[in-house]
Structure 1
Amino acid sequence: MVRPAFLITIDTEGDNLWQNHDKIDTRNAAFLPRFQSLCEKYGFKPTWLTNYEMAIDPAYIEFAKDVIARNQGEVGMHLHAWNSPPLYDLTGDDWRHKPYLIEYPEDVIRDKVVFMTELLEQTFQTKMLSHRAGRWAFNEYYASLLIELGYQVDCSVTPRVDWRQSPGDPNGQGGTDYRDFPRHAYFIDQQNIARPGSSPLLEVPMSIQYKYSSLMNGFKQGVDRLRGKKRGPSVNWLRPARGNLDKMKRVAEQSLAEGADYVEFMLHSSEFMPGGSPTFKHEADIDQLYADLEQLFDWLQSRTLGMTLAGYHRQFKDAR
């Protein structure tokens, strides 16, 4: 029996985009080889989901070309609409508001997706097969563009999470509501990305589990409503934060116990650099991150088989 896949997805983007509103630096490119080496130590192959500023950074280009040449990972596409060419002023201050790509006019969405795909394919001399939407915002039109351009895998869905309370365009409706989406991999229905269908695009949702029981989640949401707050159920992700090693293991354990044939990990490239994110501010935080990753990867090595998103697509398709 084939072991479940371990999918490492890295949103490869500029430094501390949570707080930088007027400039984008890419110093985090120098910190990525350490993580790549850790993945290779355990036989895992990360998928580097790459956006515009990293795709034109010489240090990252050299790093990613080497990963591809040695078949030790994959480069995919990630797109932040506010700074990805061709530029279009949606809000009057897009760098501050960081609007979702799906909030732009459809012709602008198309131009941006085509531009990024061509840039990545020309830079890295490889077909783009894998994708994650910037800020997790995805819809049917976006999916249709990926299918048209030959993408095989999307990993934008975050089951059990509702992003509508996270604003992009101040006059918009917020992000995508994924609460009722499948938690397993599925070929999407192009008319409704929330359900399986017959398109060639495989959706690989993030590994996310409820933090509390259904009863406790219901109670906490009721309290929030009385306080005038709108929040979804509390969840844990297979995603590092300070001191959450046990929670990450629990997410993986629960997912595998439910019969999942993969677990999906994510982090941002800037989180490997001290000060590159609000979470890991100091060198000591990075050292603790790597200590946790060593333990997580060692624990997963005997339970899973590392592969890229495109590699998982091949296995999933063959199994069907």
Structure 2
Amino acid sequence: MTTGSMLDVPPAGRTAAFAPGFGQRVLLTVDTEECFNWTAPFRRDGYGVKHVEAIPRFQAFCEAIGAHPVYLVDWPIVQDARAVEIIGDAVRRGTAEVGVQLHPWVNPPFDEEVCVYNSFAGNLPQALEMAKFMGLRDAIEAKFGTAPLIYRAGRYGLGPHTADLLKHAGIRVDTSVRSLFDYSAGGGPDYTRHPLEPYWVDGAMRLLELPVTSVHAGRLRGMGRPLQRIGERIPRGMGALSRLGLLERIALTPEGVSSEEALRGIDIALDDGLPVLVLSFHSPSLAPGYTPYTATQADVEALYGWLEAVYARLTARGVTTCKVTDIIAATGG
């Protein structure tokens, strides 16, 4: 049976119910990927993975604060012996989990033109999206000794056939939806109308969507979605709304979002009753010079400071960390 497209806003009644006692939890996801020039055209080569040497510090930090990272690894990472050794050690010790992230431009088979449109895996022909995904998924299971249960499309690029592919591959949780964000200008998905809370992709309750957490803040947050659409049609409109304290969009990421903004966003998300807050960032930001967010070592230290502040607030609010397997179990998996 064909599943509805994950690009569609789910119908009413698909919100996932969590088991009594689950409370409110936090999931820390890391887009664990190669380093490349974010401002240059996509290319199949010219990338590196040297930044993986910074992951042991991050993993030790997570264990010290009680976080349980989910490393969403892509093809260049799973092909690098050092990356597999570092991440695999944490996975074997039960202090981290591994999932799938597909960057189609560096993931074989290489049968498509390299371009912005095709950088969203869901835009590829169905057979090619499946071939790339299954090759990566099987490599992850072989290298890490565990079948991945969670997926994030690189660039959040879901497509009309992705849901059926994920269910076929045994993926139980997708976390590709970035609610309140629109990537359609480059041919990608528009998630501005998608729910913030976890929901079932179809009525069979076999695939859970766990959106990356973003919220609206400001005096007019109750009008958030329609007002955001208006603000985005006006040059610098969203910036003006934010400066006036009327509306701002806060994503729970240390990349481009201050700790003060993130703490406001956390309080809003928790007060709104979100059962799981999904934090995210890109692994190259753990070392200086690989992303626009951590150009210097001081920027890297600021990222760690962001995580410290965020987890202190979460602890104060009674929020505990969770694993992907906890989420599956709590939703009836």
The equivalent of 1:186 in structure 2 is: 199
The equivalent of 1:79 in structure 2 is: 102
Amino acid at match of 2:304: Y
Is 1:131 the counterpart of 2:151 in the alignment? Answer: yes
SS in 2 for 1:265: strand
2:135 maps to which of 115, 119, 126: 115
Going from structure 1 to structure 2, the CA distance change for 1:218 and 1:178 (only over 3 Å counts) comes to: closer
SS in 2 for 1:11: strand
The equivalent of 2:323 in structure 1 is: 308
The equivalent of 1:296 in structure 2 is: 310
Alpha carbons 2:35, 2:48 under 8 Å: kept = yes
Is 1:254 the counterpart of 2:268 in the alignment? Answer: yes
Going from structure 1 to structure 2, the CA distance change for 1:100 and 1:226 (only over 3 Å counts) comes to: closer
1:70-89, Cα deviation, whole Å (9 max, x unpaired): 10010000001111011123
Give matches, 1:1-320, under 5 Å: 1-19=21-39, 21-22=42-43, 23-90=46-113, 93-94=114-115, 99-165=119-185, 167=186, 174-189=187-202, 197-212=203-218, 213-214=220-221, 222=230, 225=233, 227=235, 234-241=248-255, 244-302=258-316, 303-317=318-332
Alpha carbons 2:182, 2:190 under 8 Å: kept = yes
Alpha carbons 1:14, 1:26 under 8 Å: kept = yes
Amino acid at match of 2:167: I
Task: Indicate the RMSD between aligned Cα atoms, in angstroms.
Answer: 2.5
Q: Which moved more, 1:251-260 or 1:1-10?
A: 1-10
SS in 1 for 2:250: strand
Alpha carbons 1:16, 1:270 under 8 Å: kept = no
For residues 48 and 224 of structure 1, the distance between their equivalents in structure 2, rounded to whole angstroms, comes to: 32
Structure 1 residue 299, shift from structure 2 partner = 2.0
Structure 1 residue 293, shift from structure 2 partner = 1.5
1:14-54, Cα deviation, whole Å (9 max, x unpaired): 11451454511001110111111111112221100000000
Amino acid at match of 1:58: A
Alpha carbons 2:118, 2:124 under 8 Å: kept = no
Going from structure 1 to structure 2, the CA distance change for 1:241 and 1:113 (only over 3 Å counts) comes to: closer
Structure 1 residue 298, shift from structure 2 partner = 2.0
1:74-107, Cα deviation, whole Å (9 max, x unpaired): 00000011110111232xx44x776211121111
Going from structure 1 to structure 2, the CA distance change for 1:255 and 1:62 (only over 3 Å counts) comes to: same
Going from structure 1 to structure 2, the CA distance change for 1:282 and 1:293 (only over 3 Å counts) comes to: same
Gaps of 5+ in 1: 168-173, 190-196
Gaps of 5+ in 2: 1-20, 240-246
Going from structure 1 to structure 2, the CA distance change for 1:12 and 1:226 (only over 3 Å counts) comes to: closer
For residues 10 and 316 of structure 1, the distance between their equivalents in structure 2, rounded to whole angstroms, comes to: 23
Amino acid at match of 1:310: T
SS in 1 for 2:104: coil
Q: How many residues align?
A: 301
1:137-170, Cα deviation, whole Å (9 max, x unpaired): 11341111010111111001111222112x1xxx
For residues 106 and 97 of structure 1, the distance between their equivalents in structure 2, rounded to whole angstroms, comes to: 15
Alpha carbons 1:207, 1:251 under 8 Å: kept = no
Amino acid at match of 1:181: H
SS in 2 for 1:127: coil
For residues 299 and 223 of structure 1, the distance between their equivalents in structure 2, rounded to whole angstroms, comes to: 30
Alpha carbons 1:5, 1:312 under 8 Å: kept = no
Structure 1 residue 243, shift from structure 2 partner = 6.3
Going from structure 1 to structure 2, the CA distance change for 1:223 and 1:202 (only over 3 Å counts) comes to: closer
Going from structure 1 to structure 2, the CA distance change for 1:98 and 1:278 (only over 3 Å counts) comes to: farther
Going from structure 1 to structure 2, the CA distance change for 1:79 and 1:145 (only over 3 Å counts) comes to: same
For normalisation by structure 2, the TM-score amounts to: 0.83
Q: Which moved more, 1:237-246 or 1:149-158?
A: 237-246
For residues 117 and 327 of structure 2, the distance between their equivalents in structure 1, rounded to whole angstroms, comes to: 35
Between the aligned residues of both structures, percent identity stands at 25
The equivalent of 2:12 in structure 1 is: none
Amino acid at match of 1:252: I
